[in-house]
Structure 1
Amino acid sequence: MFTGIIEERGEVIAWQQTADAARLTVRAPLAASDAKHGDSISVSGVCLTVVGQGSDWFEADVMDMTIRMSTLAELTPGRHVNIERAMQVGDRLGGHIVQGHIDGTATLLSIEAGSAWRVLRFSLSAEEAPLVARKGSIAVDGVSLTVSAVGDDWFEVSLIPETLEATTLGEREVGDRVNIETDILARHVLRLAEVAPAPSTEEVAS
């Protein structure tokens, strides 16, 4: 479980691809400082399990489904990633509840730059559109953000200087893909609506 408040920007050291999996090595001194085998760490929004670590780096295995659903396969040595360690019970929930179980990816469609802020517009699939609401929460590359505007096939987020500086979103360019995770509450409400039994004739009449 995460909050979407990024703790540090890590640097990719290696991406070792096999037939149907990969091993990712990331330099992240803060996350590695207390990492233990089996710990969960969010890497640009994707929850991964630590399988090896050193003084300033950690390794994680990435399964085929995660590779296909995320942007992790696009990582190359030297690329920056957003890093967040799993939250501890009793911590302040500064962002929102983020699982690290991404819905898929979105493409950056446009950037509107202000004096110190930016508005980023991303694509939105038909499957995810019902889960995204204006003023609702969304995680983009693991960053907890508030949806500032939404359309049928797009959504926007407004980034303050701190977010631009502390995360990789300040480096993004039009055409880049990002990992997105919709709000967990919206997911469950939609699922409940899908499986709820239709009202009986008597109930409708009453």
Structure 2
Amino acid sequence: MMKKINELEKFEKPREKLLEKGAKALKDYELVAILLGSGVKGKDVIKLSKEIIKLFQQDFDAINIEKLLQIHELGIAKAAQIVSAVELSKRYLFKQHKTVISANDVYEELKEYFDKKQEYFIAFYLDGANRICEKRVITIGTLNQSLVHPREVFAPAIESRCASIIVAHNHPSNNLTPSREDILVTQKLKQSGKILGIELLDHIIFSKEGFVSLQEEGIL
């Protein structure tokens, strides 16, 4: 029989622990348990939360509805709750508005992708003072023009009224030489940015070994 938070023993109630000691005193799975509120058939809320944390540890940035639904009996409603909380946390990580002065400043924000085995295409959205307002993963997979559509890249910039964007993607092979497809995607985004009045400042190709700025290379 599944247990809700209010059915747990007092010593294991995450909600009571939060009220008594504050959110920082809670373990990761206890925070997830509060978000969920209850377990599912065959799993109490604590066991379910620990399974979700395991998924976070595998690849937090790639968490989505589909991955969460791999957990037996989780259900769309609870998966949507978790995905919403994850997305909100990512967005507010960038409310500090770090200022970008050079390509190296962007590279410092890409460390979480250094060991990825797939290509991640990431967009940074900047205000008029070159401060990062938001960062988003646009696509995961081999970079090509069909995957990276200007609409997907520029829509958040339009919504947030950003002045410019910087895009970046990793080369898991550690070969930082821009491919023909890298250059074509860059040119396509540059042209779209001109039409929209949102400048593409740079396209950075990176790995844990370093990075190449297409703007500095004169390709952009």
Give the alignment's TM-score, normalised by structure 2: 0.22
Give the alignment's TM-score, normalised by structure 1: 0.23
Task: Choose between structure 1 and 2: higher strand proportion.
Answer: 1
